[in-house]
Structures are given as C-alpha cells and as structure tokens.
Structure 1
Amino acid sequence: MSARMASAGGRWRLLEAEWPEDPYYNLAVEEAVARAVSEGVAPTTLRLWRNDNAIVIGAFQCVSLEIRLEECVKYGVKVVRRFTGGGAVYHDICNLNYAISFRRPSPIPGDNVLEGYRMVGGAVITGLEKLGVKAEFIPVNDIQVGGRKISGMAGTLTRNLLFIHGCLLVGSNIEILSRVLNVPREKLEAKGVGSVRARVTTLRDELNREITMDEVKTALLKGFEEIFGVEFMPGELTSWEKKMAEDLYRNKYLTVNWNLGPCRGCPDRDRDALILRRIGLAGGD
C-alpha cells in the first residue's frame, strides 16, 4: 500500500512488517524498532501491524488475574507480554495495531506519555473521521465511539525515547475477546455496563459494513499526516533491527519467565507455565 504524501513537516518511516502467526516475534520487533529509534539508528517510525489470535498483556500484570488461560487453550489463543504497561488486549487478524517511536525531544507537547496519548489519539480520531466514524479521546488513553471503546493505547518514556502504541478494533471477534479476558464485574459496573460486549465496539459494527485493512491504513495515515504535518516514506527493518529483534525473540519474548511476569510468588505459576507452553510458547525459562 502506498502512503499518501503530506506537507513538508518532516519525513517519517512507515513500517508494515508483521508476523501475524507469531505474536512473540511481533512484540520482539516492536521493541527492536523502539530501541533503534532511541539509539538514533532509525528515524521516527510508525508501524502498522497485526497479530492473529493472541493476548498481549501489560508489563506489570499478573497472567492469572487478567486472563482465562483455559479459554485460551480452548480457542488457541497465545499469550505474550509487552514491554509497556497498561491492560491486557485481545488481538486477532481483524485488529490493526499502530506503534510510533519518537527519539526525544519529540514533537509531542511536553514530551511526555500523557500528551502522547492525546496527540496520537487525535491522529487516530482524525483517521476515523475519514471513514465516517465520529470518535473521541477519553483520558487517560482510550478512544471511544458513542461511549464504547474502539481503541486503547499504552506507552513508555525513557531518556531518549517516547513510545506510544495502540490497538484499533476493526472487525474483531468480540465473542472470543469476552471469553479469554478476565474483566472483573466491578470494572464493568464502574463503566456503567454489564458485559465486555457492551463496553467495546468495532469499525465494522459502526459502519455496518465490511471494511478492508487497506482502507483503514489509508485513513490512519491521513490522520497522522494532518495532525503531525508529516509525510510517510515506506521502509523496511534495518539489519540492526533484525538482529536486535532476533535476540529479543529468543532471549526474552519466547521465555516463560518473561511472559509470566513479575508474580514470582504466584501459587499458580507452575500451572500457568505449563499452559503457556501448551498454547504455543516454545522457549525455555
């Protein structure tokens, strides 16, 4: 897909590299690209990509509390931990993930994550408007349509990096999403809804038609171009990024310890480790 060129506010790299069948490698690439931008060996980069049938859990979350692992076994849903905080998210091939890596100082006002959510969210909202969907940014990090969540974001800030990524529900299977994620009833009630189904929506449902990923990508790129005043140059992973991704893949994202996370004293840890291996985790401890 070709990127639409915009005004002369700078050039950003556009990556569409994805491995939908391997969420562990997708997340390794996510971190490798962020590191490359942080190190100054890659330019500001927007990556658009997909996973197929996976849960991506926040860096500080407990697997047992956030995920129904037996349902993951039933539906063949893999589980991978990302390097940013935030909540667990269900990905399938009808989601579109967006990730933007800025080397600091960034063009984000205040150069911080909270304003990053607002500005990146504004770009996504502008893109959705191109498709005929009226969305709004709900602090801290949600995008909603008619009170229902259609996208959420997470991010991180280091000395040299401002990183924001999110997941846009295009035509996702809400039935599986509602079964594999363990959303406490208190959280739903706090949002004024009785079920996960009532809490989220998809582009397909809002438009009442099927929509292609190319349509969505084109609209999102236009949104980023307008909000940030940039033009996109389609690119590929560099040799530096490929090497870093391979190292992260084998030594981090394929390991049980990383994916189970910080809950070392969890009484269910051994059981959960067996289940993670059963649903696709091939790496060691």
Structure 2
Amino acid sequence: MRLLELTLPDAVENVALDEALLRQVEETDGQPVLRLWELESYAVIVGRANRIERNVNVEACRRDGVPIVRRFSGGGTVLLGPGALVFSLFLRVEKDRHLANIDAATAIVLDRVLTPLKGLVASLERKGTSDLASEGVKVSGNSQRWLRSTFLHHGTLLYDFDVSLIERYLSDPEREPDYRQGREHADFVRNLPISRDELRKSLTEAWDARLDPPELPFDLVRDLVRDRYRNDEWTFRM
C-alpha cells in the first residue's frame, strides 16, 4: 500500500483531497493508499447527511473563526484539530471480496487497525457502528464513502486533543450509539495514552504502507474546493 503523509493548509482542501484521491483510485485502477493528516487549527467537519443546526454551535464557530465543512462521506459531526490524527484509506473492493458491504468492510478495517494498537492499549475494542473505544470511552470515530469498485474509510485517532473544546463547538448529536448512554462529550471522548509516532507506526505496519505517494490530483482538488466545499449551498444545505 502507498503511504501519503500530507496535510494541506486548510480543512476545506483536506476534505477535498480525500474525495479527489478516492475518485483517482477508482478511475485509474490505482494502488490502495493510506493517507495520514492532521489539521493545525480547529474545524468542524459535518457528515454528508447531518443537519448543521442540530449538530453544530454555529454562533460559537463564527465567533471563534472555526470553519464548518460538510464532507462527502457519511457518519457524524466531528471537531478536528491538533492532536487528532486522521487516517484515510482508499481501498479497491474487487481486490478483497470480503469487503463486500459497509458493515463487513468496517469490521475488517477496524480490526486491522486494532491489532497493533491493542499491543499498546489492551482495552481497545470496536464499539457502536464504527467507533473504537477504551473502557467504554470513545477514542476514534470512522466513516466511509463508496464508489463502484473503490471505497474510502477515514477515521480519527485522538492522542493529544483538547477534548474540552468539543462541547463548545458541537451540540449533543442527533443520533448516538447505545454505549454512549447519554453522556456529555467530555465524559464520552478521551485521548489514547500513546504518542503520535506510535500511532503512525501502528497504522503503517497494520497496512504494510510504504512511503510511495501517488500523483496528486490537485486540479480536481481545486475544482472541488471551488464548486462544492467553499459553496454555502453545499455546506448549509441541511
């Protein structure tokens, strides 16, 4: 698997790059890619079908200059920023027939991520639809986007994130997993007790990813940023 370690200057460009890479792998029958990235400043990333007024404290975001970006994948609304490592996997379905549907693919991907991490945090396990948790507390959220023969699985791994900011910018979610049991953000989310370097090593080993970045589709990124991700009709459509 190819490894790409690249964070673009702002949240909008990074979300656009994930979509552009997914399209590129789909259209060129390209090799699978593991991308690692981490924002230097905070941003709210809204799931494709999430309602902003129900999930986001828009006033606080505007007051503090925190951008709101609607991504093209499913899942819930998250706050990203320093201390939240994002891993984006671009996988070809036909190369592994076990990746036949969303539930199966989620289980396979998360179990593969878990294997090396459990050597560092023995209590880690899959919880809910697509979370990783330790002792019943969430440390990773994940979502997917599928095309005909390729899918994107991206997730966060918290290691040095200011969890107290979540309740400032996010409302209580409109949907929550059973294991949350109504807990506030600060009681439900925590950092992994491991370093960024340990996370990177675990992820690259889990996927046998080697530094061989693909040609980057910057023209498509530019078009997606202009036509979709900086367009309020897309961002605030729900």
Structure 2 length-normalised TM = 0.91
Q: Does 1:36 align with 2:13?
A: no
Q: Does 1:219 align with 2:202?
A: yes
Provide closer, same or farther for how the CA distance between residues 128 and 189 of structure 1 changes in structure 2, counting only shifts above 3 A.
closer
Contact 1:136–1:143 under 8 Å retained in 2: yes
Please say if 1:46 is aligned against 2:34.
yes
1:87 partner letter? G
Inter-CA distance 248–219: structure 2 relative to 1 (3 Å threshold): same
The CA distance in 1 between the partners of 2:74 and 2:99, in whole Å, is 20
In 1, Cα distance between the equivalents of 2:92 and 2:229? 24
Deviating beyond 3 angstroms after TM superposition, the runs of 4 or more aligned structure 1 residues are 184-190
CA–CA separation in structure 2 for the residues paired with 1:41 and 1:187: 36
Counterpart residue type for residue 166 of structure 1? G
SS at 1:105 equivalent: helix
- Which aligned pairs between 1:109-120 and structure 2 lie closer than 5 A? 109-120=98-109
Contact 1:188/1:196 (<8 A) preserved: no
> What is the rounded CA distance, in whole Å, between the counterparts of 1:183 and 1:39 in structure 2?
38
* Equivalent in the alignment of 1:127: 116
- Structure 1 residues 218-276: Cα deviation after superposition (integer angstroms, max 9, x where no partner): 12222x24xxxxx322133415x122112112221111111113x3xxxxxxxxxxxxx
**Does the alignment pair 1:258 with 2:234?**
yes
Deviation of 1:193 (Å):
4.3
- The TM-score, its normalising length taken from structure 1, stands at 0.77
Q: Does 1:178 align with 2:161?
A: no
Deviations 1:82-137 (A, max 9, x none): 11111101101110011111123142614222112111111221232243343001
Local SS of the residue matching 1:109: coil
Aligned length: 237
Contact 1:106–1:162, Cα closer than 8 Å, also in 2? no
The C-alpha deviation readout for 1:20-49, integer Å capped at 9, x for no partner, is x40000011010111111112531111111
Equivalent position SS for 1:214: helix
Hey, what does 1:197 align to over in structure 2? 186
User: Which structure has the bigger radius of gyration?
Assistant: 1
Q: Which residue number in structure 2 is paired with residue 278 of structure 1? A: none
Report the aligned-residue RMSD.
2.2
Q: 1:110 to 1:49 in 2, by over 3 A?
A: closer
Letter in 1 for 2:204: L
Distance in 1 separating the partners of 2:175 and 2:49 = 20
Q: Distance in 2 between matches of 1:186 and 1:153?
A: 15
Distance 2:178 2:131 in 1: 17
SS at 1:238 equivalent: coil
- Structure 2 CA distance for aligned equivalents of residues 54 and 219 of structure 1: 26
1:160 to 149, 152, 160: 149
Gaps of 5+ in 2: none
Identity %: 27
